[in-house]
Every structure is written in structure tokens, then in C-alpha cells.
Homo-oligomer: A and B are copies of this chain.
Amino acid sequence: MKYPLPIENLIECFSKLPGVGSKSAERFALSTLNLDQDVINLFSSSLLDVKTKIKRCKKCNNLTDENECAICKDKSRNKDLLCVVEDAKNIVLFEKNGLFNGYYHVINGLISPLDGINPEDINLDMLIKRIEKDKVKEVVIAVKPSIEGETTALYISKLLKNKNVKVSKIAYGVPIGADIDYVDSLTLEMALENRQQINDN
């Protein structure tokens, strides 16, 4: 004895989501019984739409339902600046807070030889070509502070050597509001190494 077939199917689908075990999937599936018909219709059609309509922006690899994403289409931005991010999710994070007014480029992964991800797997060709074509003046690398992130940043800066482009990466250090007692040693080391002078001597 199990649940009726539609519920069993739904439990199976929910359990394919990241971090959702069989108990949570069961809970989610049963809770859909209480959702409004409107929500269910939207839920059902959005799932199909996401799979069929969402593609990658031809220019920057961002998620979009058009040929070019909304950011690449926006001509009012600063075309001298290009921010390199690992994932399309990161763009939303930067944009939500209005932190950056240049363009973005999603590389979809970081170099990680241990996991079998080599430079040619993360489509850096497209990035370099774009930088040359658009005459970008500064490339800001905004990937996570990890061995893979550092390797990728270093690799990109080597590829751009002698190309008359400034390459920078976001600062790694003690986060604002953190208690310095509880910051891990690697972050502290980074923060010390990247210390900035605050007087004029």
C-alpha cells in the first residue's frame, strides 16, 4: 500500500530536487493538495516553460528567455567594466543590490583539475573574444575565494596578459559586522595580506 499514483509520481519528482529526501518530498507532495488551483496551474506550466523557454544569453551566458539577456540589451551600462561570475545566480545577487553597473560574463564553473574541470571546459574562449571585441578596460573577477576560484582568476589574468586590459578581483577579507574572534584563519590571512594603507606616509 502506497499513495495513489499521482501522489507517488509527485513524491518521486520532488525527491529529485537538491537536498530533498523522501520525507520532505512526501510532505511537499501532500501539501500541494491544499494549494489553490491557480497556483497549481502556474506551477505546472512554469515547470514546462523553464525547460523550454529558458536558454543562455548568446553574449554573456546569463539565463534568459530571449536571445540576449536584459543586462546585455541595456545600453546605458558602463561598457568598460566586465564582471566575471561563476553562475547566473551571482548576477541576480549583484543586481538585487544595485552594486555594479557594468556588464557580466558567466563562465559556468571554475577550473578544478581534481574534478576533471580544465580551462577548456568553462568556455573562456568566449570571454576572451568578447573582451577583445568590446574593448573592455577592466575585468573584475568575482568568484568565490577557494583554490578553484583563485586558479580560475589567475588563469584568466594570464590569458589577458599583454592585451591592455586591467584585471582585478573582488576583495577577500573579514566580512562587515563579523566578530574578528570568530573569523577563520585563512580569511584572516587574506585580510592581512590585502591590507590597505589608510594614512599618507
Contact = CB atoms under 8 A, between A and B. Distances in A.
A197 B112 CA distance: 65
Given A17-B31, A54-B33, A4 B40 contact: no
B47 A2 contact: no
Contact of A92 (B2, B28, B45): B2
Interface in A1-42: 1-7, 9-10, 12-13, 16-20, 24, 26-33, 35, 37, 39-42
A27 B20 CA distance: 11
A89 interface: yes
A161 interface: no
A53 B50 CA distance: 25
A71 B1 CA distance: 8
B43 A1 contact: no
29 contacts: A1-B91, A1-B96, A3-B63, A4-B53, A6-B46, A6-B53, A7-B46, A7-B50, A7-B63, A9-B46, A9-B49, A10-B43, A10-B50, A12-B42, A13-B39, A16-B39, A17-B28, A17-B32, A18-B28, A18-B31, A20-B28, A30-B89, A33-B50, A33-B51, A40-B47, A40-B48, A40-B51, A41-B48, A43-B47
Interface residues of A, number: 54
Interface of A: 1-7, 9-10, 12-13, 16-20, 24, 26-33, 35, 37, 39-51, 53-54, 63-66, 70-71, 88-89, 91-92, 95-96
Given A44-B48, A48-B41, A51-B40, A16 B35 contact: yes
A24 to B, nearest CB: 8
Nearest to A18: B31
A184 to B, nearest CB: 23
Contacts of A33: 50-51, 54, 63
